[in-house]
């Protein structure tokens, strides 16, 4: 089965490693290459995840997107999760959001103010898949692995 196309649609993966006024000429060549390599590795790994052999069903767009984001969160080069910037209080407060749509049905979940979650995108995905209520400060430890 060709997992690359479904109903005339060719999947695409588009990632970015941050925002702001970051220009190539402002980075030493070694640092630029380090970032570029990390981004290309994320794309390659996610493509491999997407096209893994022995799969009967293609992976969902949600699965592929969260897979890519987890890799960026785990890389200390990027301002997310492991590489997050500290607040004025000297702590990392992380956030993530995920959205899905099927036709006109659209759903989204965002999580924020997280301090003890390694991959905020996985918590957002779990909340999207398992519940839809605002948990506020009460939290829900069963959905938030440390």
Bridge partners (DSSP) of residue 105 are 102
Residues 1 and 71 in one domain: yes
Residues 94 and 25 in one domain: no
Report whether 22 contacts 85 (CB < 8 A): no
| pLDDT tens column, 6-42 | 567 777 888 988 766 677 788 888 988 999 999 999 9
Residues 72 and 99 in one domain: no
Determine the structural domain holding residue 127 and report its residue range: 84-146
Residues 10 and 66 in one domain: yes
- Find the mean pLDDT for residues 99-125: 93
Report whether 74 contacts 46 (CB < 8 A): no
Residues 72 and 125 in one domain: no
Q: What is the pTM of this model?
A: 0.79
Instruction: Enter the tokens of residue 142.
Output: 């069963």
Report whether 31 contacts 17 (CB < 8 A): no
Residues with Cβ within 8 Å of 97's Cβ and at least 6 positions away in sequence, in order, are 108, 109, 110, 111, 124
Residues 22 and 73 in one domain: yes
Residues 8 and 70 in one domain: yes
Residues 123 and 94 in one domain: yes
- Find the mean pLDDT for residues 119-125: 96
Domain count, the chain: 2
- Find the mean pLDDT for residues 80-95: 89
Helix (H) and strand (E) counts for the chain? 3, 2
**Which of the 8 DSSP states describes residue 58?**
P
- Find the mean pLDDT for residues 111-140: 81
Residues 11 and 43 in one domain: yes
């Amino acid at each position: 089965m060709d997992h690359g196309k479904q109903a005339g649609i060719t999947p695409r993966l588009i990632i970015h490693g941050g925002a702001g006024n970051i220009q190539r000429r402002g980075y030493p060549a070694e640092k630029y290459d380090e970032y570029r390599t990390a981004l290309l590795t994320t794309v390659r790994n996610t493509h491999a995840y997407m096209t893994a052999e022995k799969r009967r069903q293609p992976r969902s767009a949600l699965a592929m997107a969260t897979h890519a984001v987890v890799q960026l969160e785990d890389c200390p080069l990027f301002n997310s999760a492991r590489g997050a910037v500290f607040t004025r209080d000297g702590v990392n407060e992380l956030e993530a959001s995920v959205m899905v749509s099927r036709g006109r049905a659209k759903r989204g979940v965002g999580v924020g103010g997280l301090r003890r979650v390694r991959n905020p995108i996985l918590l957002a995905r779990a909340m999207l898949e398992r519940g839809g209520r605002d948990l506020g400060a009460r939290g829900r430890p069963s959905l938030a692995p440390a």
